[in-house]
Each structure stands twice: as C-alpha cells, then as structure tokens.
Amino acid sequence: AAGAAGTGTALRYRPALGSAAERRARLREDLPGAWDRGELSVLFQPVVSLGERRVTGVEALLRWQHPELGEVPPAEFVPIAERAGVIGELQRWALTHAAAAVLTLPCTGAPLRLGVNISASHVAARTLVRDVAAVLQSTGLAPERLILEITEATLMSEGEHVAVDIEALRLMGVHVALDDFGTGRSSLAHLTRLPIDVLKLDHAFVLRVDRDPKARALCESVVSIAGALGLDVVAEGVETPAQLGALRAAGCGFAQGFLLARPMRPRELVDVLDNGAGQLWPGLVASR
C-alpha cells in the first residue's frame, strides 16, 4: 500500500477514484506536462455576426483527454491548474496553439478574430503581458485579431497591476472581452469604467431572453449602453431560434452557441467557413 512508499519500490501510490477529492488529487498529479504528452487540444467555436451573417471570429476552448479518465472539462481542470501553479504554462500552450491554428484557417472576409480565455491567476501572476507578446511574436498573429476573454471579477480585482497590465495589452493592440456578463456581480455602472472592447452576455442570461420580459429589457439596456461605449456585444450559448430572434430584436450584434455551431476542430471549421452562414444556419435565416 501507500505506506510502503520510501522503501524503494517502483510502485507509485495512485489514489482510487471513489471520491471527488480523490479525482481532484489524481487530476492534479497528472496535469503538469499533459500538454507535452499531447493530451491537450483546442476546439474553436464560431462567433457569428448577426448583421453580416458570417463567421467573424472563434473562441478557443481547451480540452484535456486524460488517458484513463477520458475527457476532462476545462471548468474542472483550469482551477486545478491554478492551484497547482501551472496555469502560466497551460495558458502559454493554449495561446500558442490557438494562434497557430487560427493562422491556418482560410480567410473569408476580414481576418477571423481569436478569443482566448484567460484565468484570474494568470492575470495575478503578472506574466500575461510578456506571455501574450511572446505568442504574438512567435506566431505572427496580428494583435488586433486577439481577444482576451476575462471575467469581471478578474478585471475588477484588487492590485493596481491588473489595470496596468490590461492597459499595456490594449496599447499593444490586443482586445479585451468581458466574459460571462450577467453572472455574479455584473453591473451596468461598472461597464463605463472597465477597460474592454467586447461584452459577452452569459448563457444564463441568454437562456431567459425570449421568455422573460425583464431579461429582454435588461438585454436591450446592455446593448444600448454597450453601443454608446463602442463595445461589441456577443451573446453566448444561443441554443434556440427564439433566443436568437429576441437577441436580434434587442440589437445584439454577435452570437455564439450550439444553434449556430458547436466547438469544433480546425478541420471542421474550414467546412463551416467555406459553406457560409445562410446554408448552415436555418435558425439564423428564419429569425430575420
């Protein structure tokens, strides 16, 4: 058993996977180096311009294929990476791979924008500016094409360096999106003060927009304030034509969700880009 460790036996203690704590311990043990072992990949979910009816960007979403446990979702392993102190390495891998993959996609109009999620502890660690600059340099991606998706809690966090770093990134030409707006403590008043270019309406908010008059009114206010501030609004997690219709009626400019396209590999994305929105998304056409 584990007690025998230290006697020189080659057996490494492997906790059983009976409990959530044991699963976390196992994931934490296995995560470092997963990127070097080829276990991580990046999927891309198209972001569609509702006005132009075409894909104008993609969001990079990390996947970890664990050799024994199968697919582990980012909501589970990103917090583990943060606590294990490997979030910087993980983010550098994700940024580099996402940027390189996007550069292989066909150009069908303006160059596709790339959204990459950035975790709070990467911002806190203060390597973000250096890491992003290095990735832009090594891949050749134009800074204007990169959108760092950051939550409000991270953008508002204490410590003046966060604001300084975000400002430095924006001076480089990189864009910043406020992710998951409508969850947590999001407030309309904050919007005027945040250093952002894009606002992403959370799925939880989008879910109610076609049925709940209050959600619809809030959506209209957000879109109108965002417009006055020069921000693009992207609705996340759009699943039904009714939701899409309500978002269009509220003046929302962009949408993302299973109705339009699931997160996919670059190869599949090429087909989507070649086919165009009209044929692929009857829901988008119907809601016009």
Please report whether residue 92 would count as binding ligand C2E according to CB under 6 A. Answer: no
Q: Which of ligand C2E, Mg ion, none interacts with 113 (beta carbon under 5 to 8 A by kind)?
A: none
Which of positions 241-270 make contact with ligand C2E (CB under 6 A)?
257-258, 263
Rounded to a whole number of angstroms, the minimum distance from the CB of residue 93 to ligand C2E is 9
The yes or no reply on residue 180 touching Mg ion (CB under 5 A) is yes
Near Mg ion in 4-23, by CB under 5 A? none
Which one of 39, 212, 239, 268 is in contact with ligand C2E (CB under 6 A)? 239
Residue 58: C-alpha distances to residues 2, 5, 122, 175 (Å): 46, 47, 21, 14
Enumerate residues 116-145 that contact ligand C2E by CB under 6 A: 117-119
Helical pair 128-139 and 160-171, crossing angle rounded to 10 deg: 20
| Bridge partners, 44 (sequence order) | 60, 264
Among 82, 89, 131, 149, binds Mg ion (CB under 5 A): 149
Q: Is 189 in the site for ligand C2E (CB under 6 A)?
A: no
Q: Which residue in 2, 4, 11, 73 binds ligand C2E (CB under 6 A)? A: 73
Among 74, 79, 111, 245, binds ligand C2E (CB under 6 A): 74
Identity of the residue, 15 or 74, whose beta carbon is nearer to ligand C2E in the bound complex = 74
Q: List the interface residues with ligand C2E, window 22-61 (CB under 6 A).
A: 45, 61
Pick from 140, 138, 90, 152: nearest CA to 116: 90
Q: Which does 283 bind (CB under 5 to 8 A by kind): ligand C2E, Mg ion, none?
A: none
Q: Binding partner of residue 94 among ligand C2E, Mg ion, none, CB under 5 to 8 Å per kind?
A: ligand C2E
For ligand C2E, the binding residues (CB under 6 A) are: 45, 61-62, 73-75, 78, 94, 117-119, 149, 179-180, 203, 236-239, 257-258, 263
